[in-house]
């Protein structure tokens, strides 16, 4: 379609989106007349009809709410003006506050959770780990859909997000309703949703907007990340590099042994080349930057060797003990740029053959390459800088999430009792036991809690003291039998954990 001024047209599946800007709202009436006629003609040419019930327009004002509503028509019928418009699953409101989007999201999450609640209650049901899996894999992504666009670090928005997350977390962590969201995050091992959304947006900004990712004193730029250019080769033109595993390393041919190594977090690679008569021709060793994996080191050794022999006109064998690199070369999906580069180098060179050998079985060439690589790891200076892999980026983002969460947990004024027991945040934790959680949160059948929330007496049934958690653990005579049941330790050794680890059935009886 011909471009008309600064009007932009986006077509996605059966959606048509027309974007335009103007300093005053009345201008749109005239400005959009021509583009709408073009769409009309286009639709007529392909015998397509437009559903007027789903056709709307919205204005995003800079400051004031526009008083004049422009009149837009298509196929002779007026296009309805709307303050909220749904496009690709997101609800845009005119001030871009996303309130409507969140309230719809909240209702839907509640609905979804209501269905999941059929399979669990406080004392029975599906394992909490399964609910955690459903939450992290499905519900969290559902809530955060489009967050790269709508997320901004505003207090109100963050609160809203955590409210929505709370609905799901209370299904994983079974406990009293009064427990704070912070405690729910800790017990379920799910970081606060606003932190997850924030890091997700930072990743998007880094990869697509070229904005550096800053965490503490570490700055990560897009150029530092190894992003495979998938457009480089269409899938039908993808090719693989074959390799063998039955080649005799003592063969009287031109041959190279390569190896990579990691030692004390430092990475190196090395290679040695022999001619037909077994005479050493050349060797090299490089230290790589510390973020490189052994896989990358092995691949670099192979690539550097290939570069040295690319022009030879006779057969040459490269022996490596890294099966993973060979398998990556024999696979169609490229995960790293270096594998892609090796493939390109070998694509038109049939003289170079790749062979796999067993490591550490006394093959002299392999042993020399191994010691060359090990030596390189001890060097002071880095010879080759390796870009950060996608896997590394994933781990790095996870570390940022956890560090952010840890800081918030330490500074939060809420759930300090739980903080005393679980000061460290962890994503691997998942406490879903209704009884255990009463002890971990202090929200439960304890008389002090019952007094605080329901105005009941705070005395224990034994009437000797207040019914606090410590009273039950150390003082209450009613629980004497239970304490004796775990009396292998002295009573001073008694702690919450040994109580909580006590057989579940009997604990139920106690409570």
Establish if 462 lies at the interface with Zn ion (CB under 5 A): yes
Rounded to a whole number of angstroms, the minimum distance from the CB of residue 453 to Zn ion is 20
Interface segment toward Zn ion; rule CB under 5 A; list 43-51, 149-157, 454-462, 489-497: 454-462
Q: Which is nearer to Zn ion, 128 or 467 (CB)?
A: 467
Q: Which is nearer to Zn ion, 267 or 460 (CB)?
A: 460
Q: Which is nearer to Zn ion, 173 or 460 (CB)?
A: 460
- Three-state DSSP at 23 gives coil
Q: Which is nearer to Zn ion, 300 or 460 (CB)?
A: 460
Q: Per the structure block, which two tokens stand in for 188?
A: 């379920």
* 86 class by beta-carbon count within 10 Å (0-12 exposed, 13-18 middle, 19+ buried): middle
Contacting Zn ion within 283-322 (CB under 5 A): none
- Distance, first Cα to last Cα, the chain: 73
Rounded to a whole number of angstroms, the minimum distance from the CB of residue 484 to Zn ion is 16
Contacting Zn ion within 465-484 (CB under 5 A): 476
Site string for Zn ion, 409-448 (x = CB under 5 A): ----------------------------------------
Residue 319's H or E segment, with its range, is strand 316-320
* 322 class by beta-carbon count within 10 Å (0-12 exposed, 13-18 middle, 19+ buried): buried
Rounded to a whole number of angstroms, the minimum distance from the CB of residue 178 to Zn ion is 23
Q: Which is nearer to Zn ion, 116 or 460 (CB)?
A: 460
Q: Which is nearer to Zn ion, 42 or 474 (CB)?
A: 474
Rounded to a whole number of angstroms, the minimum distance from the CB of residue 454 to Zn ion is 19
Q: What is the dihedral of CA 79, 83, 88, 90, to 10 degrees?
A: -170
Interface segment toward Zn ion; rule CB under 5 A; list 13-21, 257-265, 399-407, 455-463: 455-463
Q: Which is nearer to Zn ion, 85 or 462 (CB)?
A: 462
Interface with Zn ion: number of residues (CB under 5 A): 3
421 in Cβ contact with 446 (< 8 Å):
no
Establish if 459 lies at the interface with Zn ion (CB under 5 A): no
- Three-state DSSP at 342 gives helix
Q: Which is nearer to Zn ion, 192 or 442 (CB)?
A: 442
- Per-residue burial over 190-205, b if 16 or more Cβ lie within 10 Å, else e, is bbbbbbbbbbbbbbee
What is the widest separation between alpha-carbon atoms in the chain? 96
Q: Per the structure block, which two tokens stand in for 442?
A: 């202090």
Establish if 386 lies at the interface with Zn ion (CB under 5 A): no
Residue 367's H or E segment, with its range, is helix 364-377
Establish if 460 lies at the interface with Zn ion (CB under 5 A): yes
Query: For residue 14, how far is the Cα from the chain centroid?
Result: 31
Establish if 179 lies at the interface with Zn ion (CB under 5 A): no
Rounded to a whole number of angstroms, the minimum distance from the CB of residue 143 to Zn ion is 44
Interface segment toward Zn ion; rule CB under 5 A; list 387-395, 436-444, 457-465, 480-488: 457-465
CA 383/CA 381 separation, integer angstroms: 6
306 in Cβ contact with 342 (< 8 Å):
yes
71 in Cβ contact with 64 (< 8 Å):
no
Q: Which is nearer to Zn ion, 404 or 476 (CB)?
A: 476
* Residues whose CB falls within 8 Å of the CB of residue 184, separated by 6 or more in sequence, listed in order: 166, 169, 170, 173, 175
Interface segment toward Zn ion; rule CB under 5 A; list 15-23, 154-162, 398-406, 462-470: 462-470
Bridge partners for 19 per DSSP: 8
Q: Which is nearer to Zn ion, 388 or 474 (CB)?
A: 474
Rounded to a whole number of angstroms, the minimum distance from the CB of residue 412 to Zn ion is 31
Q: What is the phi/psi pair of residue 424, to 5°? A: -100, 135
174 in Cβ contact with 432 (< 8 Å):
yes
Establish if 354 lies at the interface with Zn ion (CB under 5 A): no
Rounded to a whole number of angstroms, the minimum distance from the CB of residue 476 to Zn ion is 3
Q: Interface residues with Zn ion (CB under 5 A)?
A: 460, 462, 476
């Amino acid at each position: 379609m011909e471009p008309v001024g600064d009007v932009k047209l986006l077509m996605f599946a059966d959606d048509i989106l027309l974007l335009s800007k103007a300093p005053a709202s009345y201008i749109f009436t005239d400005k959009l007349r021509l583009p709408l006629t073009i769409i009309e003609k286009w639709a007529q040419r392909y015998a397509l009809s437009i559903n007027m019930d789903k056709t709307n327009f919205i204005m995003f004002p800079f400051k004031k709410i526009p008083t004049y509503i422009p009149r837009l028509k298509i196929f002779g019928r007026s296009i309805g003006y709307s303050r909220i418009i749904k496009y690709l699953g997101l609800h845009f409101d005119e001030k871009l506050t996303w309130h409507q989007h969140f309230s719809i999201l909240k209702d839907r999450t509640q609905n979804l959770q209501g269905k999941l609640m059929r399979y669990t209650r406080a004392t029975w049901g599906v394992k909490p780990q399964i609910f955690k899996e459903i939450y992290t894999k499905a519900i969290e992504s559902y809530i955060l859909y489009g967050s790269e666009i709508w997320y901004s670090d505003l207090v109100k928005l963050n609160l809203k997000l955590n409210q929505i997350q709370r609905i799901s977390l209370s299904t994983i962590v079974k406990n009293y309703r009064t427990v704070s969201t912070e405690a729910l995050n800790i017990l379920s091992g799910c970081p606060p949703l606003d932190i997850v959304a924030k890091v997700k947006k930072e990743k998007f900004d880094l990869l697509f907007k070229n904005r550096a990712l800053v965490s503490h004193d570490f700055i990560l730029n897009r150029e530092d990340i190894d992003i495979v250019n998938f457009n480089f080769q269409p899938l039908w033109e993808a090719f693989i590099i074959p390799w063998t595993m039955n080649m005799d390393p003592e063969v009287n041919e031109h041959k190279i042994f390569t190896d990579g190594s990691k030692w004390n977090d430092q990475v190196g690679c090395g290679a040695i080349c022999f001619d037909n008569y077994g005479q050493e021709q050349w060797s090299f060793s490089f230290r790589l930057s510390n973020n490189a994996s052994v896989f990358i080191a092995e691949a670099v050794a192979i690539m550097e060797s290939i570069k040295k022999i690319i022009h030879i006109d006779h057969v040459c064998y490269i022996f490596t003990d890294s099966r993973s690199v060979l398998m990556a070369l024999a696979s169609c999906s490229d995960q790293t740029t270096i594998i892609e580069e090796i493939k390109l180098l070998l694509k038109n060179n049939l003289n170079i053959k790749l062979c796999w050998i067993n490591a550490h079985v006394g093959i002299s060439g392999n042993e020399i390459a191994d010691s060359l690589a090990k030596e390189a790891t001890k060097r002071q200076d880095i010879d080759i800088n390796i870009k950060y892999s996608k896997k590394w980026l994933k781990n790095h983002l996870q570390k940022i999430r956890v560090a952010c969460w840890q800081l918030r947990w330490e500074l939060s004024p809420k759930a300090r009792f739980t903080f005393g027991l679980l000061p460290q945040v962890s994503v691997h934790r998942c406490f879903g036991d209704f009884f255990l959680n009463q002890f971990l949160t202090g929200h439960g059948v304890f008389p002090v809690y019952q007094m605080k929330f329901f105005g009941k007496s705070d005395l224990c049934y034994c009437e000797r003291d207040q019914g606090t958690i410590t009273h039950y653990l150390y003082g209450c005579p009613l629980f004497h039998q239970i304490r004796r049941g775990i009396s292998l330790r002295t009573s001073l050794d008694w702690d919450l954990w040994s109580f909580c680890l006590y057989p579940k059935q009997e604990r139920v009886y106690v409570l």
